[in-house]
Structure formats: structure tokens, C-alpha cells
Amino acid sequence: MKEQKNLVKEKTLLEESKTTFLSRISHEFLSPVAVIKGYANLLIKREDDLKKLDYIEKILKSTTHLETLISDLISSSKFSAYTHTYNFDHIDIQELLFDVYEEFLPIAQEKGLNFVLRLPEYPSVVIADPQALKTAVTNLVSNAIKYTREGKIILEGKKEGSSIKISVTDTGPGISQEEIKLIFKPYYQGKISRTKEVGMGLGLSIVKDIIEAHGSKIEFKSELGKGSTFYFYLKLV
């Protein structure tokens, strides 16, 4: 009888979180779509060219926003702790970090941030799922850039004993004591994130699942008002 009651309670809780999640993502998806539609409509009506570039820029920005939301949702189910879609292979960390750096350099520069890449001296081979590991590093760099108003972002790969330490350091707002336990939970968004409507609170939970699937652990050090460093270790081959 008690077991049955517990099952019903669990089911109700699951249903509730499903409803909250669905209403939240619908809202998240609708806002960039509304911006795209609005500016596309304006674009059709405008006869002079003056404002067109501005509208196209806004359309592109919202399309990128939508793309991030969709890709976060896909990664979250693909690399979740409950699925096993990993394809492990020998990969060079130098190459992977360089790829992520190249992708994000224009975005960091556009924000006026100094983006620095520090690579290990020699090719550093690890066994990893290249796509998953790139997603994890990408999410960390993307957060660092997103939450940092000014200063520096450092993406670094450093040999430490028989492992390589991969870290992303920023001069952003840092993480408060109360948030320490929450930031890796799926759908958790801090105050800074919620007010700006960027992302869905999935980024770090995806990183956690991926790094744990590689037999490691994602960790961070942070000082409020000064910045944060997210890091993890992988065994070198």
C-alpha cells in the first residue's frame, strides 16, 4: 500500500516537472521565433534600404539563439547519463582545443574580450568521444564568454603527470555559495542567466554527463566578482 502511494507520488512529481519543462521550453523557443517573424515582416514592408541590415542582423541573432536551444536539447538527450551513444577514439587535445578556440574567437572579440589559447607543447592524445568532448569544451567556453562582461577568457590544456588538465577561466561574475550545488542540475539557471534569457540551463548538466562518461569529473573554482575556472582531467595515452 505504502509502495503504491510512493509510486503515485513519484508519477505526479514526474508529470509536474514534465509540465513545467514543456511550458518553459515552449516559451524559450517562442521568443526568438517571434523576433525572427517580426523583423522578417518589417523587412518585406520596407522600401528603403537603410534599416534592412539592422533587421537582418536581428534575424540572424535570433536564429543563432534558436540554434543554441535546439542543439542543447539534442546534446542533452544524446549525451545523457542514461544513454550510451558514445563513440570512443584516440584524439589529439591540441587539435580539439584549437578548433573550439577558432570557432569562438570572433564571438569573444565582438564582445571586446581577450580570448587566449594555451596549448600543451606536444600532441596530447586521449581516448574520448570527439564530438562529445568538443560539446563539453564548447559549452564551458560559451558560458565563459556569455557571462563575462569584460576581461579575459583562457582556454588551456596542460600536462599534469600522466593526465591532461583542460580548463576554461574567465573574469566573469563568479558563482555564489548558494549556487554551487545547483549549477550542474539540468534546467537550473542562475539570476544572471534568467534575466537575459540565454540558454535553458542545460549547458553544464551536459558537460557533467559527458565528462563523467569519460571516467572523470567536472570541477570549478570561483570567486564572486572575480571570475571562475571550470576544469577536468583526462588520462593521456
Contact 230, 156 (CB under 8 A): no
Q: Which residues bind ligand ADP (CB under 6 A)?
A: 143-144, 147, 170, 172-173, 175, 183, 188-190, 192-193, 199-205, 228
Alpha helices per DSSP H over 46-129: 52-78, 93-110
CA dihedral 198, 199, 201, 206 (to 10 degrees): -140
State which residue has the least CB distance to ligand ADP: 190
In angstroms, give the least distance from the CB of 3 to ligand ADP: 34
In angstroms, give the least distance from the CB of 177 to ligand ADP: 13
**221 Cα distance to chain centroid:** 17
**CA distances to 38, 87, 176, 209 from 107, in Å:** 25, 29, 26, 26
In angstroms, give the least distance from the CB of 138 to ligand ADP: 11
Kindly tell me which of 147 and 233 has the beta carbon lying closer to ligand ADP: 147
Which residues have a Cβ under 8 Å from the Cβ of 97 and sit 6 or more positions away? Answer: 117, 119, 137, 155, 157, 166
Kindly tell me which of 157 and 199 has the beta carbon lying closer to ligand ADP: 199
Kindly tell me which of 130 and 190 has the beta carbon lying closer to ligand ADP: 190
In angstroms, give the least distance from the CB of 131 to ligand ADP: 18
Cα(12)–Cα(185) distance, integer angstroms: 20
Task: Write the burial class of residue 110 (CB in 10 Å: 0-12 exposed, 13-18 middle, 19+ buried).
Answer: exposed
Kindly tell me which of 39 and 232 has the beta carbon lying closer to ligand ADP: 232
Kindly tell me which of 151 and 215 has the beta carbon lying closer to ligand ADP: 151
In angstroms, give the least distance from the CB of 90 to ligand ADP: 29
Cα(135)–Cα(206) distance, integer angstroms: 8
Of 142, 152, 131, 150, residue with least CA distance to 210? 131
In angstroms, give the least distance from the CB of 88 to ligand ADP: 25
Kindly tell me which of 138 and 228 has the beta carbon lying closer to ligand ADP: 228
